[in-house]
Chains A and B, each alone.
Chain A
Amino acid sequence: MTSPLLSVRNLVVDFQTGEGVTRAVNNISFDIPAGKTIGIVGESGSGKSVTSLAIMGLLQKPAATIPQGEIIFNGQNLLEYNDAQMRQIRGDKISMIFQEPMTSLNPVFKVGDQIAETIRIHRKISAKEAWDRAVDLMNQVGIPNPSASAHKYPHEMSGGQKQRVMIAMAIACEPKLLIADEPTTALDVTIQKQVLDLLFSLQQKYHMSMLFITHDLGVIGDIADDVVVMYRSNVVEKNNAKEIFYTAKHPYTKGLLACRPKLGANPRRLLTVSDFMDEAGVEKHVSPERVVVFDKETEREKSSDILLEVKNLVTQFPIKGGFFGRTVDHFKAVNDVSFKLKKGQTLGLVGESGCGKTTLGRSILRLVEPASGSIIYDGKDITNVYAEELRLLRRKMQIIFQDPYSSLNPRMTISEILTEPLNIHNVGNGRKERLDMAKELFEKVGLNVAQLNRYPHEFSGGQRQRICIARALMLRPEFVVCDESVSALDVSVQAQVLNLLLDLQQEFHLTYVFISHDLSVVNFIADEVGVMNAGKIIEMDKASNIYKNPKEEYTRALLSAIPKGLVKSDLSALV
């Protein structure tokens, strides 16, 4: 075996914080062979991004220190390079793509200049030649009309196009190694697919090695030859992708693989990492009944009462323009949507960003005013109720938001947050009783009552989302809109919260509208699924039918874009 292109040996990275030293990367080693793709998978805070920044020499000094380890590239230890030497490597031999295409480009320079700049740092060519090369690169990464697009500024491009520009910039000097840190996480699923395909083909074309960092095992299965699994600053498992997917050895890897809902049938409740190992990391035996696949269509209780009916709903936003900023037109975020939802069931709304799914959810709750159409809740038209009636409606209809960090008021304690709805609606007798009600629900969502007087910032993302769920349920609503409620969470936490939502649905006989961009999640939780595009529900059917027999071209495109979690070798066999 030839020596690898890059080899990380016993790398340790520490961060100096106010409270002391935190170890971000703990003694990890792995190799990147020439021409291969290595995937690092791990959840937030596992140390995967820190590893990539360490290779690039981009760690923020002096906060970050590397007390131990080697990063051998072409036989040289990069950690011994000085700044000037490292600059020769960066962008030329090793280049990198970041997660946030929106902010990673300089907003005041033309994209063509930004690509050309990379070339001119490392190659002695004229400005004209560099510009032509930049246009050529933009063509290679699939940006339409490259010679005109090169003159654009970043804000004139979509997120997907910006990420293509980032890629063009990264491959400009034909690097030996391309590091991609969550390059598709901020993108829609169809765009993600295109970007992954692009990276794959460019890698073949330029015989690059690639280090691909992601939290999504599905994505990594599509692209990586070997996989390194990181968990709490450590590498817990590394192997070729096939072995990882089919015969994972470490319980964390097994948990990570299991907690992602599959597009087909799933167990009644999702498996989570805690089914595979305990807090100390010791492997547990998974009880057999947890893995039994469950057919919700036959097993779930059926109800025929319609709780919610939406008829020809339109919600629009004014487009300001013209000379005095008057409203010149309306953008129909929700355009003539109709559906019925039975009691105790879950309607999944799925679509890409900007399709109107969030506006639809808020319009149903009258948090956004619809322009026309009607919303009939429990037999009553609520489209035009106001003031007191609308307030009473809030007791029955609730919402859980996406971002667990911004949806709790940072200046209020959890008990204040939970009792606030009771105060508004004058439910319960006095403080004591309200507090008891808060305690009860706080326990139901799986949190420790002793923490009731704490502030939101003292909880993790998953815990915060549980608090949001508890708040939504304080008034004992019948109907809840979950707006991307698990999207901001790590996969293992996401599984726990999905399970919790199902448990609560059963216990409180809740009816859900579950909004998500993630088709597998919607498939797992919803009875019926509506696919949204450009403000309309283009297709609506039983969840399983949507996945098995999609009727619309758009639905098919969405489905085929989902990372399959197949290993590369299997994929190439399919082609």
Chain B
Amino acid sequence: MKENSLWKDAFKRLIQDKMALASLVVVVIYSLIAVLAATGLIASDWAKEVGASNLPPSAEHWFGTDIFGRDVLAKVLHGTQIAMSVGLFTSLIAIPIGVILGALAGYFGGWVDDFITWLYTTFSSIPNIMLLISITMILGKGLFAVYIALGATSWVTLCRLIRGEVMKHKEREYVQAAGAIGGGHFRKLFLHILPNVTHIVIINTSLQFQFAIKSEVILSYLGLGVQGEPSWGTMIDDAKLELARGVWWQLVGATAAMFLVVLAFNLLGDALRDSLDPKLKGK
């Protein structure tokens, strides 16, 4: 009977919070759209000309059409796939690096800590936007460069948080107790301390996702992101010139799609912090 585990408790608190539940639903829907778009089940015909150019929203084309007569809704859905994939791959790069380095630094201290601290201080000394621009420019424009660039900038925050938390837990008596019953470093760090800091990873990932999505939009707008496919960023870039001609639907479609998911991740991040971080309980 694991009904009473802290995770279950936290989850229960989370879904009792209506705002958090709604955010979770939004995130799940976006993930589904991304998966369906990636497998070609929806929005695969985004490149097809389906009507006249720049048609305003109608029953047939809910978000209207763009200058080439392509369906804006299909482009938005395809952009969802791009945005979510950036969030996902960035996290896949940043989490292992951040967690492992942070855990090692916090647990072993000494020169290991000195080295890792130096490493993330160095990385954080190059302003994010500059590092993003440099990496994407050098690796060649495209999604792959965006993944690497965002991954390279975002492990730093996680690493610092994990390091601090592991340091705190290392001194707790339950870890010393694990040593006293004969447990080694591996047991203490991976079986005892890490399960107690995973909430940091979860909260951070939620916020990381929205940061990655926002960054992708800006990088794509700057022409550094996805090439030859629609993304929310390139759609906004297109809209820049269209707005004066009264073509607003492409801008609104992309912005609204992004707003909703970023808002959901932000609210979810806050709700996760409230429900997972016992330190903040009661505030």
Direct contact of A and B (CB under 8 A): yes
With contact pairs A409-B196, A410-B196, A411-B195 given, residues A455 and B177 touching in the complex (Cβ less than 8 Å):
no
User: B177 contacts A394, CB within 8 Å?
Assistant: no
- Enumerate B150-202 residues with CB–CB distance to A below 8 Å: 172-174, 176-183, 187, 192, 195-196
A435 to chain B, nearest CB (A): 14
The residues of B that contact A398 with a CB separation of less than 8 Å are: 180-181
Per-residue CB proximity of A443-486 to B under 8 Å, as 1/0? 00000000001110110000000001001101100000000000
- Docked complex Cα distance between A398 and B82 (Å): 56
- Docked complex Cα distance between A407 and B172 (Å): 7
A510 to chain B, nearest CB (A): 15
With contact pairs A409-B192, A411-B195, A424-B187 given, residues A453 and B2 touching in the complex (Cβ less than 8 Å):
yes
- Enumerate A475-531 residues with CB–CB distance to B below 8 Å: 475
User: A394 contacts B182, CB within 8 Å?
Assistant: yes
Per-residue CB proximity of A419-451 to B under 8 Å, as 1/0? 011001100000000000000000000000000
Q: Which one, A407, A454, A457, contacts B177 given CB within 8 A?
A: A407
Q: Which one, A367, A394, A403, A411, contacts B196 given CB within 8 A?
A: A411
**Within 8 Å of chain A (Cβ to Cβ): is B1?**
yes
B8 to chain A, nearest CB (A): 10
Which of A398, A406, A474 has the most CB atoms of chain B within a 10 A radius of its CB? A406
B194 to chain A, nearest CB (A): 10
Q: Which one, A391, A395, A406, contacts B172 given CB within 8 A?
A: A406
Number of A-B contacts (CB under 8 A): 67
Q: In chain B, what residue has the closest Cβ to A424?
A: B182
User: A424 contacts B181, CB within 8 Å?
Assistant: yes
B179 to chain A, nearest CB (A): 6
**Within 8 Å of chain A (Cβ to Cβ): is B6?**
yes
**Within 8 Å of chain A (Cβ to Cβ): is B122?**
no
**Within 8 Å of chain A (Cβ to Cβ): is B58?**
no
**Within 8 Å of chain A (Cβ to Cβ): is B125?**
no
- Docked complex Cα distance between A257 and B6 (Å): 38
User: B177 contacts A403, CB within 8 Å?
Assistant: no
User: B176 contacts A367, CB within 8 Å?
Assistant: yes
Q: Which one, B172, B173, B174, B181, contacts A421 given CB within 8 A?
A: B181
Q: In chain A, what residue has the closest Cβ to B198?
A: A411
**Within 8 Å of chain B (Cβ to Cβ): is A401?**
yes
The residues of B that contact A209 with a CB separation of less than 8 Å are: none
The residues of B that contact A413 with a CB separation of less than 8 Å are: 2, 5
**Within 8 Å of chain B (Cβ to Cβ): is A365?**
yes
Interface residues on B, range: 20 to 34
Interface residues on A, range: 20 to 34
- Docked complex Cα distance between A453 and B183 (Å): 22
**Within 8 Å of chain B (Cβ to Cβ): is A25?**
no
Q: In chain B, what residue has the closest Cβ to A368?
A: B176
User: A420 contacts B176, CB within 8 Å?
Assistant: no
- Docked complex Cα distance between A424 and B176 (Å): 15
- Docked complex Cα distance between A391 and B180 (Å): 9
The residues of B that contact A408 with a CB separation of less than 8 Å are: 174, 177
User: A394 contacts B173, CB within 8 Å?
Assistant: no
Q: In chain A, what residue has the closest Cβ to B281?
A: A18
The residues of B that contact A391 with a CB separation of less than 8 Å are: 182
Q: Which one, A367, A409, A458, contacts B4 given CB within 8 A?
A: A458
B124 to chain A, nearest CB (A): 22
User: B2 contacts A399, CB within 8 Å?
Assistant: no
Q: In chain A, what residue has the closest Cβ to B16?
A: A18
- Docked complex Cα distance between A425 and B182 (Å): 8
User: B180 contacts A394, CB within 8 Å?
Assistant: yes
- Docked complex Cα distance between A472 and B179 (Å): 12
Which of B4, B173, B180 has the most CB atoms of chain A within a 10 A radius of its CB? B180
User: A395 contacts B182, CB within 8 Å?
Assistant: yes
The residues of A that contact B176 with a CB separation of less than 8 Å are: 367, 399, 401, 407
- Enumerate B78-135 residues with CB–CB distance to A below 8 Å: none
- Docked complex Cα distance between A333 and B212 (Å): 50
A181 to chain B, nearest CB (A): 19
The residues of B that contact A425 with a CB separation of less than 8 Å are: 182
Q: In chain A, what residue has the closest Cβ to B7?
A: A411
Q: In chain A, what residue has the closest Cβ to B1?
A: A453
With contact pairs A409-B192, A458-B4 given, residues A420 and B173 touching in the complex (Cβ less than 8 Å):
no
- Docked complex Cα distance between A349 and B182 (Å): 25
User: B177 contacts A471, CB within 8 Å?
Assistant: yes
A473 to chain B, nearest CB (A): 11
Q: Which one, B173, B178, B181, contacts A406 given CB within 8 A?
A: B173
User: A409 contacts B182, CB within 8 Å?
Assistant: no
Per-residue CB proximity of A372-397 to B under 8 Å, as 1/0? 00000000000000000001001100
User: A394 contacts B174, CB within 8 Å?
Assistant: no
The residues of A that contact B172 with a CB separation of less than 8 Å are: 406-407
The residues of B that contact A457 with a CB separation of less than 8 Å are: 6
- Docked complex Cα distance between A421 and B178 (Å): 8
User: A420 contacts B6, CB within 8 Å?
Assistant: no
The residues of B that contact A475 with a CB separation of less than 8 Å are: 181
User: B174 contacts A406, CB within 8 Å?
Assistant: yes
- Docked complex Cα distance between A413 and B6 (Å): 10
User: A420 contacts B181, CB within 8 Å?
Assistant: yes
A16 to chain B, nearest CB (A): 12
8 contacts between A and B (CB under 8 A): A367-B176, A407-B172, A407-B176, A408-B177, A413-B2, A424-B183, A424-B187, A474-B181
Given pairs A411-B196, A471-B181, A472-B180, 9 additional interface contacts (CB within 8 A): A367-B180, A395-B182, A401-B176, A406-B174, A409-B174, A420-B181, A425-B182, A453-B2, A471-B177
What 3 pairs between A and B have smallest CB-CB spacing?
A407-B173, A394-B182, A421-B181
